[in-house]
Amino acid sequence: MTPASAATPAANTPGWSRESMQARLGGSGGGGNKAEAATLRRARIGDAMLDWACRLSAALIALMLISLIAVLVHSAWPAIKQFGLGFLVNSEWRANEIERPLRDSAGKLILRDGEPAMETLAPAFGALPVIWGTAISSALALLIAVPISLSAAIFLVRVAPKLKIAGAASFLIEFLAAVPSLAFGIWALFVLAPFFQKYVGPFLHRILEPLPGLRWMFYESTTVAGRTIERPIPLTGRDLFTGSLILAIMILPIVTSVSRDVLRAVPRTQIEGTLALGATWWQSCVAMLRYGRSGLLGAIMLGLARAAGETMAVTMVIGNNNQISPSPFAPAQTMASVLANEFGEATEGLHRAALLYVALILLTMSLIFNVIARRLVVGKLASRNQ
Amino acid sequence: MSQSFAEIRRRTFSSIMFGLCAGGAALIISILLLVIGYLLWIGVSSLSWEFLTAVPTGDVANPGGMRHAIDGTIILVALASAVGVPIGVLAGIYLSEYPTEYAVTGPLRFIADVLTGVPSIVVGILGYELVVVPVSRWTESSISYSGYAGAAALAFIMIPIVARTTEEMLRLVPKNYREGSLALGATRAQTIFRVVLPGAFGGVATGIMLAMGRIAGETAPLLFTALGSRLLTHNPAEPFPSLTLQIYTYATGPYPEQKRLAWAGILVLLAMLFVVNLSIRLIAARHARTRVGA
């Protein structure tokens, strides 16, 4: 095509000759020093442009993380300055001023000019309720999801290939991971929560209440006017328990697929060795789990990070109440859900700053979980590849 | 007797655990089928032609459709991809093709990994603080929620995913392709754009589609950036509708007719994701064929 390739007789393998390759690559092979120099210059400029475009794009990724941290710290600064680290352990979250009647030490209303005297409680912000909600819901979710995920991972690695269903089962689990959290939220809100309210909640209540030491699950006691009043927690189906369950369902795919990869990386000789020594199927699985334990821990940490940061589904079913209740059947609030619920309406400066402080805590936590998880999983899988 | 009691016990225990493992896998699959099946069942019964073509009426008994939200999601994903794909791919090229700069690429790879794990609600808040607030201050208007802010938040989520998958896919291209191209006098840019990228085209495209599917289903990053809208608007400078935001609003609202629309909306969203997944499979299959043919 180019004059250069026509002029050179050495091109006996047309597909891979230098000229045809250069023609294909867009260069003009030869054709005088001047043209060659121009081509070279153009090539250098092109390379330099690509280099810097790549470097800039890559730098942008670093910039993204830096700006994420910097902006959150900057915007949350009023709250950080005011509350300090005490924010983490303060359990009061009041976005607005509350007026309530003043009571004396015996719990009687104090009357002033025939009217009950009122006291005004200033807004207060403490992150303990949402940290509590996040911790308990994530822990419960892991408690439910990890045994199921690990057993499914073992099945996928040890059994499914023999049945020739490993591909199909893996595809289904990966599709579950691609379903948006909103879809789980809708399902949880319209199907799971009513089901729990109608059947599961009352059932558990009937079964568990007579057992000694479990009364706290179904009754909350409040101290009003010096007396302790115990009242049953209304079973709405929108509570910590339902929130944890939907979280468990949502982290199943990620924990399963990462555990599967980790277990698949266990050398065959390990398994065959245990079997040769007379181990049963399960005993060789235990050996396999033990061999991959750090990678499995990483898989669990990834699940934990996912659970702690999950927003939409949890917001829809956890009940959204900034309180600390020991009962799993009481409405709760997580860090992510308080942000989704209140950030849009937080017009007052300190409220917004407090929410940004919560976001900063959430970010820090998920960064830590992710870093640990990547170290554990990547380390394990990389050592296999070498 | 070789079949001692302990032997029988440990074999029985092994069988029980085998059953439990199979049960775990079956449980996950059945949960998936339960959730998807339910969404399909209610969604299909709520879906109508009007849903796809009409805009909200404001009448709660007869709420119209979600045309505005479907358009909104498509535009948001297109805008986010227009920014996120080039940056993500270039960053991926950097991570894979500049091994001499490993002092930088190592930490960057780690940062990209960590960024993919940032909770999406935090990204939404960053979008608010970094785009919405400054724009409001600059234009001296009330809070300027906009489609651009929403697209920026989505791009933030997209870039690290695209970068990492691009890198992984480029690494699969054999080293001697690059060496051959360079030995023939091609420049680095020519090698990357005409040899390496085409060689990994299927994988890179799959990664991009995956990221697009992921951001199309995101709600939390849009809550405080795009905000949502009931108007049919194609102007991203305004508060912007999205399918996910509209579904969330309807689902958490009090009106049964709107809840039906939320179900239908989820179905449309899942259908869009399914089309994306299917395209990924097709691209991957075609890519595999051409690689074998080459």
> What CATH number has the domain bearing residue A343?
1.10.3720.10
Note the pTM of the prediction, 2 decimals: 0.87
Q: Is A18 among the domain residues?
A: no
Chain A stretch 31-70, residues whose beta carbon is closer than 8 A to a beta carbon of chain B: 43-44, 46-47, 49-51, 53-58, 60-62, 64-65, 67-68
* Residues A44 and A187 placed together within one structural domain of the fold: no
* Residues A136 and A103 placed together within one structural domain of the fold: no
* Residues A144 and A203 placed together within one structural domain of the fold: yes
* Residues A262 and A302 placed together within one structural domain of the fold: yes
Give the domain extent around A62: 29-86
Residue A279 amino acid letter: A
CB contact under 8 A, A371 and B23: no
Q: How many CA atoms lie within 13 A of A385 on its CB side?
A: 8
Q: Is A169 among the domain residues?
A: yes
| Buried b / exposed e along A173-196 (16+ C-beta atoms within 10 A) | beebebbbbbbbbbbbbbebbeeb
Q: Is A11 among the domain residues?
A: no
Bridge partners of A121, per DSSP, are A98
Give the tokens for residue B88.
Answer: 């993500």
How far out from the chain centre does Cα A218 lie? Answer: 29
How far out from the chain centre does Cα B213 lie? Answer: 3
In which band, very low, low, confident or very high, does the pLDDT at A228 lie, cut at 50, 70 and 90?
Answer: confident
The helix/strand/coil state of A327 is: coil
CB contact under 8 A, A61 and B224: no
- Give the other-Cβ count within 10 Å of B133's Cβ: 16
Which are the contacts of A25, defined by CB distance < 8 A and separation ≥ 6? B181, B184, B185, B186, B190, B194
Which are the contacts of A23, defined by CB distance < 8 A and separation ≥ 6? A1, A2, A4, A5, A29
A187: closest CA among B44, B250, B38?
B38
Q: What is the pLDDT of residue A107?
A: 67
In which band, very low, low, confident or very high, does the pLDDT at A221 lie, cut at 50, 70 and 90?
Answer: confident
CA gap B290, B284 in Å, rounded: 10
- If you count residue pairs, one on A and one on B, with CB atoms under 8 Å apart, how many are there? 279
| Buried b / exposed e along A28-52 (16+ C-beta atoms within 10 A) | bbbeeeeeeeebeeebeebbeebbe
- Nearest CB among B24, B88, B219 relative to A182 is that of B219
Which residue out of A22, A186, A361 would a mutagenesis test of the B interface target, given it has the greatest number of B Cβ atoms within 10 Å? A186
Of A38, A57, A86, the domain-final residue? A86
Q: What is the pLDDT of residue A25?
A: 56
Q: Which residue has the tokens 């990221």?
A: B211
Write out pLDDT tens, residues A324-361: 888 888 899 999 999 999 998 887 788 999 999 999 99
A364 touches chain B (CB under 8 A): no
On the 0-12 / 13-18 / 19+ scale of CB atoms within 10 A, A380 is buried
Give the tokens for residue B19.
Answer: 């059953």
Query: What is the pairing mode between strands A219-224 and A227-232?
Result: antiparallel
CB A74 within 8 A of CB A81: no
Average pLDDT across each block of 10 residues of chain B; the chain has 294 residues. List them in order.
78 92 90 88 87 84 88 95 96 92 90 92 95 89 88 96 93 91 90 90 87 93 91 90 94 89 91 82 69 42
CA gap B122, B223 in Å, rounded: 11
CB A319 within 8 A of CB A227: no
Q: What is the pLDDT of residue A379?
A: 56
**pLDDT tops 50 at residue A1:** no
Min Cα–Cα distance to chain A from B288, Å: 17
- Nearest CB among A55, A172, A355 relative to B94 is that of A55
* Residues A40 and A103 placed together within one structural domain of the fold: no
Q: Is A107 among the domain residues?
A: yes
Q: Is A134 among the domain residues?
A: yes
B247: closest CA among A259, A222, A308, A183?
A183
- Give the other-Cβ count within 10 Å of A372's Cβ: 16
In which band, very low, low, confident or very high, does the pLDDT at A5 lie, cut at 50, 70 and 90?
Answer: very low
Report, in angstroms and rounded to the nearest whole number, the Rg of chain A calculated over CA atoms. Answer: 31
B263: closest CA among A323, A107, A187, A249?
A187
How far out from the chain centre does Cα A208 lie? Answer: 31
Q: What is the pLDDT of residue A149?
A: 94
**In this predicted complex, what is the ipTM?**
0.91
CB contact under 8 A, B24 and A152: yes
CB contact under 8 A, A283 and B259: no
CB A355 within 8 A of CB A343: yes
Q: What is the pLDDT of residue A161?
A: 85
Q: What is the 3-state secondary structure (H, E, C) of chain B?
A: CCCCHHHHHHHHHHHHHHHHHHHHHHHHHHHHHHHHHHHHHHHHHHCCHHHHHCCCCCCCCCCCCCHHHHHHHHHHHHHHHHHHHHHHHHHHHHHHHCHHHHHHHHHHHHHHHHHHCCCHHHHHHHHHHHHHHHHHHHHCCCCCCCHHHHHHHHHHHHHHHHHHHHHHHHHCCCHHHHHHHHHCCCCHHHHHHHHHHHHCHHHHHHHHHHHHHHHHCCCHHHCCCCECCCCCCCCCCCCECCHHHHHHHHHHCCCHHHHHHHHHHHHHHHHHHHHHHHHHHHHHHHHHHHHHHC
Write out pLDDT tens, residues A19-54: 555 555 554 444 567 888 888 888 888 899 999 999
Q: What is the pLDDT of residue A15?
A: 41
CB contact under 8 A, B21 and A159: yes
Q: Is A2 among the domain residues?
A: no
* Residues A72 and A120 placed together within one structural domain of the fold: no
Q: Is A332 among the domain residues?
A: yes
Q: Is A3 among the domain residues?
A: no
* Residues A240 and A326 placed together within one structural domain of the fold: yes
Give the tokens for residue A307.
Answer: 């659970």
Q: What is the pLDDT of residue B55?
A: 86
Residue A209 amino acid letter: E
Task: Between A183 and B57, name the one with better pLDDT.
Answer: A183
* Residues A69 and A101 placed together within one structural domain of the fold: no
Residues of B in contact with A256 (CB under 8 A): 28
Average pLDDT over residues A307-325: 90
* Residues A204 and A226 placed together within one structural domain of the fold: yes
Total of domains in chain A = 3
How far is residue A352 from each of residues A76, A321, A339, A359, B256, measured CA to CA in Å? 8, 18, 10, 10, 33
CB A362 within 8 A of CB A309: yes
Chain A stretch 217-276, residues whose beta carbon is closer than 8 A to a beta carbon of chain B: 249, 252-253, 256
Report, in angstroms and rounded to the nearest whole number, the Rg of chain B calculated over CA atoms. Answer: 24
* Residues A352 and A233 placed together within one structural domain of the fold: yes
CA gap B239, B246 in Å, rounded: 13
**pLDDT tops 50 at residue A12:** no
Q: Which residue has the tokens 């039906």?
A: B260
CB contact under 8 A, A72 and B223: no
* Residues A304 and A371 placed together within one structural domain of the fold: yes
CB contact under 8 A, A359 and B121: yes
Average pLDDT over residues A282-294: 91
* Residues A145 and A238 placed together within one structural domain of the fold: yes
Q: What is the pLDDT of residue B61?
A: 81
CB B235 within 8 A of CB A140: no
CA gap A275, B203 in Å, rounded: 39
**pLDDT tops 60 at residue A94:** yes
**pLDDT tops 50 at residue A362:** yes
CA angle A370, A373, A378 (to 5 degrees): 120
CB A102 within 8 A of CB A109: yes
B222: closest CA among B69, B63, B55?
B69
In which band, very low, low, confident or very high, does the pLDDT at A56 lie, cut at 50, 70 and 90?
Answer: very high
CB contact under 8 A, B224 and A180: no
Q: What is the pLDDT of residue B108?
A: 93
With CA atoms as reference, the chain B residue closest to A191 would be B38
CB contact under 8 A, B163 and A61: yes
Write out pLDDT tens, residues A101-133: 777 766 677 777 777 777 777 788 899 999 999
Residue A282 amino acid letter: W
